[in-house]
Chains A and B, each alone.
Chain A
Amino acid sequence: MKCVRCLLQLQSLRLLGQSTRCSAQYSSLLPSASSQPGLPHSTQQQVSRSFHSSSACSKSRPVPTDFLKDQDGKKDKSLVVQKDLFEEVAKDIKTKATFNKVVEVFTKRDVRRRGHVEFIYAALKKMPEFGVERDITVYNKLLDVFPKEVFVPRNFIQRMFNHYPRQQECGVQVLEQMENYGITPNVETKVLLVQIFGDRSHPMKKYQRIMYWFPRFKHTNPFPVPRQLPEDPVDLARFSLTRIANDLDAKVTVYQVPFTDVSESGEDITCPHIVGIQSPSQMELLAQHNPSRPVFVEGPFPLWLRNTCVYYYVLRADPTPEEKKEEPYDPERCFDYPLQLDIDLERDLGDDEEFDVEDLDEGPVYAMCMSGQGDQATLNQWISGLQQTNPILGQVPTLFRLDSGPRDLQGPAETESGPRHQTDTETHNQSREEVQDEEAEEPRRTQGMKQ
């Protein structure tokens, strides 16, 4: 609170300086204006107050000729003057610096900031183009375009009615765009809003709402994703695999680092990255797998990390029909505490916490991987890499159930009219492919062994 007051004082000091500067500017301009007859004496006073005057007053006041010349030079009677300003000043380099420059050019062009509402709307629309939509300083700079203290209601009637509604709407729009991009306003924003619209105005209310709700929902996500994802595909794969594995013991293995090589015939060979993850419990499950039943490599499945979509592949088996025998815990596995307790914990009748639903058994997941390429050869490399730690994979037939690739993932959504027929044909195709795969599998596997 104290810092707010301090800032307010500072700002007001700066404003005072501005207004004196303005009046100085005006007084220097006055000789040119005073040559016109019938200049009312009261303008002197108006000038010292600079922005306090109403628009009607400023219309009646004789405009200094220098400004008129400037206006005539720049203004052509089109409706999209503000957009043109952006195109003019920042022709091809669209950065934060040029954006700030445009705002500065606008603020310096006219003391009265005529057309600032249109300018701010245009600027808001242009912000994503310049890549500054997540920059709090730019938003504050945009709010700074509003003239200060003009729109603050000065008596109860003005406060009762919507004072300067268009300007307030524009201010709310600036705040709403901040809200949409998830930018929390800071103290400077608050000071600016108080100066421009006063406390109790609509933009101020919007600010208060944002400041109430944003901190509440800031850390609600239990699986947070950083704003800046790692650029390196291996790092990205490592991050996303640890996210979906949901096991702190899971170990990430990089089976292949991406590199480009030139072969003997002069062709470029690009080797995609292969990153896999497997936890000890998954290894245990895989070790218990019945070797007569096949395991499947399925994918690609999408995973969204904020704006980027990555694809992963899964090594899994079909659900086993029965044979769910509970292995008795080896009592010598842990001497410190018992791993199994036979205590009836039901406290009261009807005290069951379990939901009355059938468990769905989708089969165990043995490992996951992400790769630069989704073709079978690449994934086979992953399987052969897995084989070093899971020797059982040498005996188990591995089948590939791969979809046509990330690009065609949207395909089935559109052809929804005959889902049954489609799935039928798909399974037929799959089974055929699987048979072929199985035949082709063994030699490749032996290659993998040799490596």
Chain B
Amino acid sequence: MSLPNITRLPHLRLLSSIHHQQLLLPFIPPLSVPRRTVIQGNYRRPGQPKDDRLPWEKINFNFSKGLEGIKKQFTLLKKEFTDRWVGPEGKPILDHMLEQNQVVWEFRGPESLEQWTVSSDSEIGGQSEVYLKIGKNNNTCLLYGTLSSTPPKDGETRYSGYCTMRSKQPLASFDRKKHFDWSNFNTLHLRVRGDGRPWMINITAATYFSHHRDDMYSYFLYTRGGPYWQDVKIPFSKFFLTHRGRIQDNQHPLWLDKINNIGFTLGDKVDGPFQLEIDYIGVCKDYAHTEEFAYELYQGKQSS
């Protein structure tokens, strides 16, 4: 008597649940597996709207854009061919070999800003703002904005408050990646004017393995403030290896033969307006500096 009772109850419950499911079915998309696991997409922050467009909908099939692209790529290709006749990197061989210093980035006119991107923590939901413009006398770049270190209220972000300016990766014709070769030089030379805030300089080099993608070499840039320009020389040997904002235990000197880009980050946890003016960024060879790497390279006792 009691046994059928027991057996019947779960059946009923099971049936009702199935029925419920069927009612809901039209509202639930048929794909029960999360899409991110099926198509390897990027991580979506909580609160960020879903990008449901199909892959080809994201491409701009514009005829004039295509023409512009062809023009740009072929001029680049032509430049590559003609530069070879002059010498390496478009310079005569003697100049190239005897080069003591090189200006890599300078700011002359608005088109020089196209080599740079700015970003701030508003990408992760923060409230900082950052802008980049050409300075008053058309010869410098002015990076300014407001820093705000209130973390977004998404429940998982603990720290916030950064503003960044980063150079774009140089591209050869047909969007092949190009790298800077600074192996002749050993010092980074900057001419800046800040407002007393400390910045961080990040250099990324080309890597082979994909898990090294977020490796960066960083060092500090302290600004004096005031109306005078400041010449800063930082040896490359002082740059230390970081990965996703964390300093690494196993350090490695920066290899200068394939440099991708350089970036400036402000994140000193002080809320308020900031500004940084950059005149030029160059590399030079300092014969007095012979240090290979400023940090110890010995392998510590590996802890389990």
Contact = CB atoms under 8 A, between A and B. Distances in A.
Interface of A: 159-160, 180, 200, 205, 209, 213, 216-217, 220-223, 225, 240, 243-246, 301-307, 309, 312, 314, 316, 348-358, 360, 362, 365, 368, 409-410, 413-414, 416, 419
B224 A243 contact: yes
A305 B224 CA distance: 10
Contacts of A301: 195, 227
Interface of B: 94-95, 97-101, 103, 106, 129, 131, 133, 137, 139-140, 144-146, 159, 189, 195-198, 220, 222-228, 247, 249, 269-270, 272-275, 279-280, 282, 284, 295, 303-304
Given A220-B222, A410-B273, A413-B129, A209 B227 contact: no
Contact of A350 (B98, B145, B249, B274): B98
A217 B249 CA distance: 15
Given A302-B195, A303-B195, A355-B280, 11 more contacts: A223-B224, A244-B226, A302-B273, A304-B272, A306-B270, A349-B98, A350-B97, A350-B100, A352-B100, A357-B282, A365-B227
B222 A221 contact: yes
A245 B226 contact: yes
Nearest 8 A/B pairs, CB to CB: A244-B226, A350-B98, A304-B196, A303-B225, A200-B303, A360-B139, A365-B227, A304-B197
25 contacts: A200-B303, A200-B304, A209-B249, A216-B295, A222-B222, A243-B225, A244-B224, A244-B228, A302-B195, A303-B195, A304-B195, A304-B274, A350-B94, A350-B99, A355-B101, A355-B189, A355-B282, A357-B103, A357-B282, A362-B137, A365-B227, A410-B146, A413-B144, A413-B145, A413-B146
Chain A binding surface SS class: mixed
A217 B273 CA distance: 26
Contact of B247 (A200, A213, A243): A213
A307 B137 CA distance: 30
A402 B144 CA distance: 19
Name the residue in A200, A352, A360, A410 with the highest tally of chain B Cβ atoms < 10 Å from its Cβ.
Answer: A360
B284 A360 contact: no
Given A357-B103, A368-B226, A305 B196 contact: yes
Contacts of A209: 247, 249
A218 B223 CA distance: 16
A335 B270 CA distance: 52
